[in-house]
Amino acid sequence: MNKLGLFGGSFDPIHNGHLHIARAFADELGLDSVIFLPAGEPYHKNAPRTPATQRLAMVEAAIAGDSRFAASDVDMVRGGATYSVDTVQIFRQHFADAALWWLMGMDSLLQLHTWKNWRTFARLTNIAVAARAGQSLGHAPRELHAWLGQALQDGRLKILSASLRDVSSSAIRQRVAAGENIADDVPDAVARLIAEWGVYRGQPET
């Protein structure tokens, strides 16, 4: 059975931390491919400031060196707010026989019960969780306790052994705005695009 990983995010910009956890996602679960899904208009956070076409181009440049990675504009081309449950349903329709895995951070897992139709989402896909320092399943709200126990027992929920790296897109945007070097934070191809387009310069974070 083909195993397909889905990795959504604003990717504004994509950085080495994203690539690190995507590789761990693929390696630890034996995925055939990981699809990066740049966000359109996330309903649960401020909308990305950079045009979707540029964020997609940065993702494509960043993942070009790994044959397991691909990018999709499925969340960009839908109008209005996009919801993860709808995204998974689209992939389920196109890859009916595949085992789907959705990658999220521990912070997102602990808020899963607030997602639109979260129980349907959790039925349609397996979930892999990237650990964050100071967060664990012990912090899960009561609304998730029964589901967490069953999902772990069934193998539909996996906690990755690799942890998230201490790098963030917002910090990178701040460094670009301040004229600082970001060579250690993003792939060279992404750094070149950021410099070519002049994005993030003179755009202090709010």
pLDDT in tens, 148-198: 999 999 999 999 998 888 889 999 999 999 999 999 999 999 999 999 999
| Domain-wise residue ranges, the chain | 3-169
E strands, 72-151, are 99-105, 126-131
* Neighbouring residues of 35: CB distance < 8 A, sequence distance ≥ 6: 4, 5, 6, 7, 70, 71, 72, 91
**How does pLDDT run across 22-50, given as a tens digit for each residue?**
999 999 999 999 999 999 855 555 555 78
pTM for the whole thing?
Answer: 0.92
Pick the CATH number of 3-169 from 3.40.50.620, 3.90.1300.10, 1.10.10.10, 3.20.20.10: 3.40.50.620
**How does pLDDT run across 96-120, given as a tens digit for each residue?**
999 999 999 999 999 999 999 999 9
